[in-house]
């Protein structure tokens, strides 16, 4: 039941995207997020989606695997769509009781939904193709300038990498405890919301206890290996930009510029008005 959640999980495969320097991927993802908010029309988002699809193809990760992992986002997505559809004022298309659906409402809903989906898939592509270790390494390296103003960059990235590393462990642990309690007749799948919330106590108590135990063990293990923070710490694998990273950066630059240019495309609203105009 918990196996389906793939947020923050690494998917091992041998692809160009996997081999890219984590810094390149971080920069690329950041640019992608920024540009998603700069794009004005649905056309632009469609093109961005197409580009994203090409990148997905390049990662060799099956698309259904990525889509399945976003299940938890769907509820949020539904909220956005429904709220936008009902709340945005404009030309009324349908009116049933107090529910009014406007052209602008539908347009905004579709636009927001697309933006959200692209955003989530774009971000998960990074975590899917980058191991947590690489990711935090990259982040630490990128944020290094902030050290000058006394930001504890190393500590932050270490905390992040531990947190990421613990996601699958805690997930597995949850699965195990749920099974153990099911074996004792616990029922997580039926009853009212209150009953279900109560049914989670036998899972949460052991889970929290085990998380503390693990944290304790980890701290001891780190100390036993003389971990003392950032000072004087060297790396086994220094990050180095390769030729492919420079090419990737060029692609990111061109892609972002191109997507930004879509702002100047003829607005889709006109096309949209023309289509919905046929039905009203």
Applying CB under 8 A, the span of 40-48, 136-144, 198-206, 241-249 interacting with another protein comes to: 198-206
Cβ burial 73-99 (10 Å sphere, 16+ → b, else e): beeeeeebbeebbeebeeeeeeeeeee
Interacting residue with another protein among 1, 12, 96, 225 (CB under 8 A): 12
Alpha carbon distance 203, 192 (integer Å): 18
Q: Any contact of residue 217 with another protein (CB under 8 A)?
A: no
Applying CB under 8 A, the span of 29-37, 89-97, 130-138, 180-188 interacting with another protein comes to: 180-188
Alpha carbon distance 169, 263 (integer Å): 44
If binding means CB under 8 A, how many residues of this protein chain bind another protein? 23
Alpha carbon distance 275, 280 (integer Å): 9
Closer residue to another protein, CB minimum distance, 8 or 202: 202
Closer residue to another protein, CB minimum distance, 117 or 177: 177
Applying CB under 8 A, the span of 18-26, 46-54, 183-191, 271-279 interacting with another protein comes to: 183-191
Under 8 Å between Cβ of 168 and 7: no
What six digits make up the tokens of 14? 């041998």
What dihedral angle (degrees, nearest 10) is formed by the CA atoms of 203, 158, 4, 23? 170
Applying CB under 8 A, the span of 32-40, 134-142, 199-207, 227-235 interacting with another protein comes to: 199-207
Interacting residue with another protein among 3, 148, 225, 235 (CB under 8 A): 3
Chain positions contacting another protein, by CB under 8 A: 3, 12-13, 65, 176-177, 179-187, 189-190, 201-202, 205-206, 209-210
């Amino acid at each position: 039941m918990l196996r389906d959640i793939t947020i923050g999980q690494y998917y091992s495969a041998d692809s160009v995207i996997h081999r890219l320097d984590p810094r390149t991927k971080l920069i690329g993802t950041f640019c992608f997020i920024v540009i998603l908010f700069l794009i004005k029309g649905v056309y632009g988002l469609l093109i961005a989606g197409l580009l994203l699809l090409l990148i997905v193809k390049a990662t060799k990760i099956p698309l259904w695997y990525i889509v399945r992992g976003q299940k938890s986002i769907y509820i949020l997505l539904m909220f956005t769509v429904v709220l936008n559809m009902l709340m945005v004022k404009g030309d009324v298309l349908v009116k049933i009781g107090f529910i009014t659906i406007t052209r602008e409402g539908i347009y905004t809903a579709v636009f927001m939904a697309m933006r959200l989906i692209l955003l989530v898939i774009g971000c998960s592509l990074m975590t899917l193709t980058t191991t947590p270790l690489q990711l935090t390494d990259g982040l630490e390296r990128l944020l290094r300038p902030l050290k000058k103003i006394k930001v504890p960059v190393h500590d932050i990235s270490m905390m992040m990498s531990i947190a990421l590393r613990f996601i699958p462990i805690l997930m597995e642990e949850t699965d195990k405890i749920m099974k153990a309690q099911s074996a004792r007749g616990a029922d997580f799948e039926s009853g009212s919301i209150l009953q279900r919330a109560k049914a989670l106590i036998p899972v949460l108590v052991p889970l929290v206890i085990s998380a503390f135990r693990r944290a304790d063990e980890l701290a001891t293990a780190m100390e036993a290996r003389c971990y003392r923070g950032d000072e004087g710490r060297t790396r086994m694998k220094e990050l180095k930009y390769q030729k492919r990273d420079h090419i990737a950066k060029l692609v990111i630059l061109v892609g972002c510029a191109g997507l930004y240019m879509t702002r100047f495309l003829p607005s889709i609203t006109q096309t949209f008005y023309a289509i919905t105009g046929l039905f009203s």
